[in-house]
Amino acid sequence: MSDSNNALNQEFRTAMRQLAGGVSVITAAHGENRTGLTATSVVSISMDPPELFISVNRSSSSWPVIEKSGKFGINVLQQDQQVVAEHFSGKGGRKGADRYADDDWYQTPDGVWLSRRALVGFACDVEKVWMHREHALIAGKVTLINVHAGPQPLTYWHGHYGSFIQN
């Protein structure tokens, strides 16, 4: 990689840290294999039928599990679930099912894992996948929604977790 590309990549990383985002945990399970990842970008792409869009690095432990199962969960975290976000980001070396510690999880009839404490839990079937560079871009058809009234959402901005404050 040239110095100019490296500088541009670093500048891009710095610029993207300026985008504040809600924090979600993407869960993946196939048989006894459970894993997941932390994401700050979940996009609504259709209302009828309801569909959401996520991006997963193909070198992550989650991608092959999502690919095999054809399903995934999206858990929109509340402000006091920072430790959950950290577990699913791999902080502290947590891997696989160990990432599910310290929260209240349940499995839907379709085998998707959702948090009982998340603001919202979505169970999704993989509708379509596009491969782009090192990522799998996944459109998921929502099959179940659980909304839990709760406090403020967990947010992420400039490398730090926080919460949304209404004025």
Residue pLDDT, tens place only, 107-124: 999 999 999 999 999 999
> Please, are residues 25 and 112 in contact by the beta-carbon 8 Å criterion?
no
pLDDT average, residue stretch 69-81: 97
The pLDDT-based confidence of 163 (bands split at 50, 70, 90) is: confident
pTM: 0.93
Give the list of residues 6+ apart from residue 125 with CB closer than 8 angstroms, or none: 70, 71, 110, 140, 141, 143
What DSSP state is assigned to residue 78? B
pLDDT, tens digit, for every residue of 83-113? 999 999 999 999 999 999 989 999 999 999 9
CA pair distance 130, 132, nearest whole angstrom: 6
CATH match of 21-163 with 3.40.50.360: no
